[in-house]
Amino acid sequence: MPCACETTVDPKLIQQFIDTLGADTTATIPLLQAVQSQYGYLPRAAFDMIVQNTEITASQLYGVATFFAQFRLKPLGRHLIRVCHGTACHVRGADKVNTVVRHTLDMDEKDDTSANGGYTVEDVACVGCCSMAPVMVIDGEVHGEQTGTMAEKNLKKHAKDHGEYFGK
């Protein structure tokens, strides 16, 4: 479920990015990177300002933003969970960990952020802890050898420690 809140975008800052990085199509990726670096995702208002003030069309901008996994069209949650799906983690049950995490947060498979904006779940290719597979990382804290039960327990502990509530 998308966040109902939209970030206020500073038009002067977006114009500064354009002035510095360029207004032709070769500036598409650097402009998107600059905006995301500033806001944590790509707000619609920033998209509109870039399209209005450059030679980049809306379809070009959206095409690049949706092609590359580094770009986000929605804000991140307050906390980030990365579930490793590398070979070792996949073989040892990453899908089960992912399913339990999403169920605990009451998220559909298509959603990446919980309805209350508390958690964003990302599937990642590898976190580099193969000997601890399957691995889940919550706000940079690595949790290895996860089972579904352990993943739920670790998530609930994190939520309690950080004043989050997700209704389960």
Residues in the chain: 168
User: Which amino acid is located at 13 in the chain?
Assistant: L
**Which pLDDT belongs to residue 3?**
46
**Which pLDDT belongs to residue 83?**
97
Q: Which tens digits make up the pLDDT trace of 134-168?
A: 999 999 999 999 999 999 999 999 999 999 976 54
Q: Which tens digits make up the pLDDT trace of 30-83?
A: 999 999 999 989 999 999 999 999 999 999 999 999 999 889 998 989 999 999
Chain-centroid distance of CA 18 in Å reads 25
Q: In what order do the strands lie in the sheet with 119-124?
A: 119-124, 79-84, 136-138, 141-143
CA distances from 146 to 14, 109, 132 (A): 43, 20, 8
**Which pLDDT belongs to residue 88?**
97
Taking only Cα atoms into account, the Rg of the chain, rounded to an integer number of angstroms, comes to: 18
Tell me which CATH code domain 79-161 carries: 3.40.30.10
**Which pLDDT belongs to residue 2?**
41
**What confidence tier does 4 reach under pLDDT thresholds 50, 70, 90?**
very low
pTM given for the model: 0.75
Does residue 113 carry a pLDDT above 70? yes
**Which pLDDT belongs to residue 6?**
65
Task: Tell me the C-alpha distance between 43 and 23, whole Å.
Answer: 19
Task: Tell me the C-alpha distance between 10 and 16, whole Å.
Answer: 10
Is there a cis peptide before residue 134, judged by omega within 30 degrees of 0? yes
Cα separation of the two ends of the chain: 18
Does residue 1 carry a pLDDT above 50? no
Domain with CATH 3.40.30.10 in the chain: 79-161
**Which pLDDT belongs to residue 58?**
97
